[in-house]
Amino acid sequence: MSSKNKEHIQKILDTLPKTPGVYQMRDKEWGVMYVWKAKNLKNRVGSYFVKTNELSVAKKQMVGKIEDIEIITCSTEVEALVLETNLIKHLTPKYNILMKDDKNLAYLKITNSPIPELIKTRQKFRDGGIYFGPYVSAVEQSVRALRRIFRIRNCRVKFEKNRQKTDELMITDKAGKTIPCMDYYIGICPAPCLLHSDKIGQHSENIERVKLFLSGEGGSVFLDLENQMKDHASKYEFEKAQEVKETIEALRGLYERQKVRDIVDGDIDICIQYEKYEKTYIALTQVRSGQIIGVFRHEVRIGIDEGEDIMIAFLMRQYIDTEDLPDILLTMNIFSDSSFSTFLNDKKIQHEIPKIWPKKDLLDFTLNQLREYAYKKELATLENKTLTREYMVNVLERISYPVPPKWEIIFECYDISHTDGHFTYASRVVIVNGKPDPKRYKKYKIKTLEDGMIDDFASHREVMMRRTIEWIIENNFPHLIIIDGGKWQLSSALAGIKEGIYVSKKNSIDSSSRTEQSRVEWSVEIQVSDNMENGLLHTSQWQMPPICSIAKREEEIFVPSSKDPIMLEKGSGELMVLQKARDESHRFSITANRSARTKAMKKNILEELPGIGPVTRKKLLKLAGSVDGIKDISTEELSKICNVAQIETLRDHGIVG
């Protein structure tokens, strides 16, 4: 590997996200040598170039031939594993052997029994059952979760129609179970085995909900459950309403739907055109036989094509001389060019603009891949433009802030991310002399908002108050604070800085007064609205720090000293420095929000298990480190923490094997 290529690979490694996804190792002919999935792309891909002594001989040979690395980010590790399988089947890379067959795939099946079961199977038969998938073999945990959430029987009891009374059922094999079993008593099965018509009917309704859920019709399932919850509440049946509410919450945690399974029929192409950073990007996702087989992303070079002509030109080159045509083409907009519409009709390609999933999910998936690609390309452009200290000096001069005579120039940028008012986090990213410094990044959990409340202004106010207290104690304020937003976000941030100064004065904070954790918890509880003169504060001891905000739509720069925005030249290094900080803070805040949601979901799963109390949970998590790690605990170690019933509960819910 040449020194130039080593530098190229290192740039890729430095910008890899810490998210699930699939990576493709390419050789000098741009051929795909190796495809694999990762729970954490940055750690996994980086391991090939750090832990070289631990690699097999074949992988060492492969690493020596790597000329480029392409990634496709995914929402979950399971989604990445399914996509990995599809790509390997389609591309047959040289260094992939273990996954060139379908042995790792499995289906979910609702059996054709008089009282159906939900099971996992590796083969499809024409036996009257209803199949969903294929999925990866890790689907076993999902089966158990679906059975528990939807209250589906978890037994192999055999039922047949009574030959003497055809409208009745009879049990032909109890499968070693007592009738009813423990699942009925702990409320996770309606016990159709009792053969009561109401219990069989309830189980049938639950099976229908599972069918809808697995078919991508989860919205109707949630609506039905929410109506049930309201109905119970109106009848003062609060315990039943609470049970339904818990079911809804559990389902939402599970409902990170897989966009790479066969929930759509036929062969589909998804094409997206995206304008960003004064450039145009095109992405094409190909779905064949219901499976994603490729995601292709391109930066459009300068030419005479404009508007939708760019996409039409791209698709014409794609379809003009090939037999691999899709049944359906999905885009975000209609085509006004009638000749291209006629071309699609002649090729028997149906054009659709989906508004709801699952096809809408495929559009969103493609758009997210293209956004990530555009962002990485822009980072590479910024590196090539060598955004150094000089551009940061120019920014400070342009917006009339002091310039340090030497050493580092430090910019900090802040953004807010939340999920419908839950898991609200602020991010701080740091740019030093034109380059990100991840070691100085920080995330803030917003504490002053009630759960479910959406208020970006209050969030900016809180994080700036906390940052100001840190500044006064540590004497570490940057040369410029950048707020992601317009003038109102800037006003909220200024209010937070003033409150931080006021709190510090009022309580005589210094570096020896409190620990970091206690200082943060204490500062967000203080009410500082009193004794402030119309929201203003005389800062005789501490001066207001340099601060600005950048609005996304027109890239307007707002500063406190001017009512009118400052407009930097588009494409200039000065604007790119601010854009780079803003985009990186947005990415980092979303990562913090996603991480919090994932941890909460896993925590809730363990807390919901019957018979697993807080002491046992604490011991399990202390030993395993996480819910996922519990499956790696040996049976001997597990038996020291849990009794037989608790181990069985963990096994029934897929926590241990």
* Average pLDDT for 584-597: 80
Average pLDDT of the chain? 78
More confident residue, 248 or 565: 565
Q: Which helix (H) or strand (E) holds 288?
A: strand 279-288
CA atoms of 532 and 502, how far apart (whole Å): 8
Looking at residue 2, its pLDDT comes to 67
pLDDT over 80 (residue 440): yes
pLDDT, tens digit (0-9, with 9 covering 90-100), for 51-87: 677 776 767 888 888 999 999 888 777 677 667 767 7
CA atoms of 499 and 189, how far apart (whole Å): 55
Output the CA–CA distances (angstroms, integers) from residue 47 to 10, 30, 54, 71, 188, in the order listed: 12, 22, 9, 15, 43
pLDDT, tens digit (0-9, with 9 covering 90-100), for 198-243: 999 999 999 988 888 777 666 667 777 788 888 888 888 888 788 7
Task: Tell me the torsion sign for CA atoms 136, 141, 144, 148.
Answer: negative
Task: Tell me the torsion sign for CA atoms 583, 589, 592, 595.
Answer: negative
* Average pLDDT for 595-618: 71
pLDDT over 60 (residue 343): yes
* Residue for token pair 């989860």: 218
Which residues are paired to 110 by β-bridges?
A: 118, 130
Output the CA–CA distances (angstroms, integers) from residue 77 to 18, 35, 37, 250, in the order listed: 12, 15, 8, 19
CA atoms of 593 and 459, how far apart (whole Å): 14
Three-class secondary structure of residue 21 per DSSP: strand
* Residue for token pair 């940055």: 42
Q: Which residues contact 66 (CB under 8 A, 6 or more apart)?
A: 1, 9, 25, 26, 27, 33
More confident residue, 509 or 498: 498
Where are the extended beta strands (E) located within 289-348?
Answer: 291-299, 328-330
Looking at residue 629, its pLDDT comes to 77
pLDDT class of 142 with cuts at 50, 70, 90: low
Q: Which residues contact 333 (CB under 8 A, 6 or more apart)?
A: 308, 353
Domains of the chain: 3-91 (3.40.1440.10), 138-216 (no CATH), 268-363 (3.30.420.10), 385-594 (3.30.420.340), 609-652 (no CATH)
Q: Return phi, psi of residue 72, to 5°.
A: -130, 115
CA atoms of 222 and 500, how far apart (whole Å): 43
Output the CA–CA distances (angstroms, integers) from residue 591 to 454, 456, 464, in the order listed: 18, 17, 20
Longest dimension (CA), the chain: 98
Could you say which DSSP state residue 388 is in? -
CA atoms of 634 and 410, how far apart (whole Å): 49
Which residues are paired to 411 by β-bridges?
A: 431, 480
Q: Which helix (H) or strand (E) holds 620?
A: helix 614-624
Looking at residue 139, its pLDDT comes to 61
Note whether 272 and 366 are within 8 A (CB). Answer: yes
Which residues are paired to 283 by β-bridges?
A: 272, 297
153-162, 313-322, 548-557, 597-606: the lowest-pLDDT one = 597-606
pTM exceeds 0.85 for this model: no
Measured in whole angstroms, how far is the alpha carbon of residue 633 from the centre of its chain? Answer: 28
